[in-house]
Every structure is written in structure tokens, then in C-alpha cells.
Amino acid sequence: DTAVSQTPKYLVTQMGNDKSIKCEQNLGHDTMYWYKQDSKKFLKIMFSYNNKELIINETVPNRFSPKSPDKAHLNLHINSLELGDSAVYFCASSRQALGEQYFGPGTRLTVT
């Protein structure tokens, strides 16, 4: 009964490749997020979708493109991967107007 799930859990790929990470939540929330956690454990918001509408788009290279096919899913596509993209990417969700965000288990991306 995983609330927020992500696939894959680990992703190892070479520079220049294009990859996607998928996220699904079964909490009935209408807002979903992508965060990036660097090697120093610092979590930083990348994107947020509310009811399939992009509401937060931080200063992220346009090689990163989120897509929300419906309220329960938020995917992250990354083009032309670079070494600096290596990090753990977390998906999260929340109910509108509330601050409690629930996180997925993370996707550990390693770019070689």
C-alpha cells in the first residue's frame, strides 16, 4: 500500500543520454512535486503541479521537463544528462491548502 511510489529506484546512465523517472501517488492528493537532494543531503524544490497544472518551476535547466498526465502521476524527463545531474530525486505529494507533503522513496541517479 505504498502512498508515493517512484520508478526506477536506481538509475545508472552515461552522459548525453535521455532518461525518465516516474511517480505515482494513491493518496488522492492534487499537488505533486519533484525535489533534488544533493550529496550534502540538501533538498531543493524543482517543480510542482496542482491538478495537472505547473505552478512552481524553479531555476532548473530546461533539459528537465516534468509531465503530469493526471493528478496521481508526475513524471520527470531529463535530456542530455550531465555529471552534475547525479543526485537523488524525490517525488512528493500534498493536499491543496495543506502543508504536509509525503515523499516517495527516491530515485538515485548516477551519471557516468
Backbone angles phi, psi at 6, to 5 degrees: -135, 145
Is the Cβ–Cβ distance between 25 and 105 less than 8 Å?
Answer: no
Work out whether 7 is an interface residue with other proteins (CB under 8 A): no
Return the residue of 23, 25, 36, 48 that touches other proteins, per CB under 8 A: 48
Task: Return the SS3 of 77.
Answer: strand
Work out whether 39 is an interface residue with other proteins (CB under 8 A): no
Cis peptide before 8 (omega within 30 of 0): yes
All three cell numbers of 53, joined, read: 497544472
Q: In the complex with other proteins, which residue's Cβ is closer, 78 or 88?
A: 88
Return the residue of 24, 90, 109, 111 that touches other proteins, per CB under 8 A: 90
The whole-angstrom separation of Cα 33 and Cα 13 is 23
Return the residue of 7, 19, 45, 73 that touches other proteins, per CB under 8 A: 45
DSSP 8-state assignment for residue 85: G
Q: In the complex with other proteins, which residue's Cβ is closer, 33 or 64?
A: 33
Name the site residues for other proteins (rule: CB under 8 A): 4, 31, 33, 40-45, 48, 50, 55-56, 58, 90, 94, 96, 99-106, 108
